[in-house]
Amino acid sequence: MASAYNSEQLTQFLDHIGVPTAFRHASPSLQFLTVLHVHTISTLPYENLSLHYNPSHEINLEPQHLFEKIITNKRGRGGFCMEVAILYNHMLRALGFDAYTAGVRTRPRIQGVPQGDFPGWGHIVNIVTFADGSKYHSDVAFGGDGATKPMPLVEGLVHENLGTQQIRLARDWLPSQALRVESSKLWIYQYRNSEVQDWNSFYAFAEVEFLQPDWGVVNHWMTTHPDSNQVKNLLVVKFLRRPKVSSEPDDQEIYGKQMLVNGTVKENLGGRTHTLKTCTTEENRIDVLGKVFDITLTDEEKLGIQGSPLQLQSGKVCNGSCDNCTKKAADGRKESIQW
Question: Is 6 buried (19+), middle (13-18) or exposed (0-12) by CB count in 10 A?
Answer: exposed
- CATH number of residue 227's parent domain: 3.30.2140.20
- Is the pLDDT score of 327 beyond 70? no
Task: Inform me whether the pLDDT recorded for 194 exceeds 70.
Answer: yes
At residue 325, does pLDDT exceed 60?
no
Specify whether the CB–CB gap between 38 and 50 falls below 8 A.
Answer: no
Q: What is the pLDDT of residues 227-272, one digit of tens each?
A: 999 999 999 999 999 998 876 767 899 999 999 999 999 999 988 8
| pLDDT at residue 171 greater than cutoff 50 | yes
Nearby residues of 183 by Cβ (< 8 Å), 6 or more positions away:
none
Provide the domain limits for residue 145.
1-339
| C-beta of residue 229 within 8 angstroms of C-beta of residue 221 | no
pLDDT given at position 318: 44
- Nearest partner of 263 among 276, 251, 246, judged by Cα: 276
Mean pLDDT (whole number) for 98-117: 92
pLDDT at residue 326 in the model: 46
The mean-pLDDT minimum among 129-143, 258-272, 306-320 falls in: 306-320
The mean pLDDT of 91-107, rounded to a whole number, is: 98
Whether the predicted pLDDT of 316 surpasses 80: no
pLDDT at position 249, please?
66
Enumerate residues 6+ apart whose C-beta is below 8 A from 21.
none
Whole-angstrom distance, CA of residue 120 vs CA of residue 317:
34
Choice among 10-14, 92-96, 156-160, 267-271 with the minimum mean pLDDT: 267-271
Q: How many domains does the chain have?
A: 1
What are the pLDDT digits (tens) for 286-305?
999 999 999 999 999 999 99
Q: Looking at residue 314, what is its pLDDT?
A: 62
CA distances from 272 to 136, 194, 268, 275 (A): 29, 12, 6, 10
Mean pLDDT score, 79-94: 98
- The proportion of the chain whose per-residue pLDDT surpasses 90, expressed as a percent, equals 84
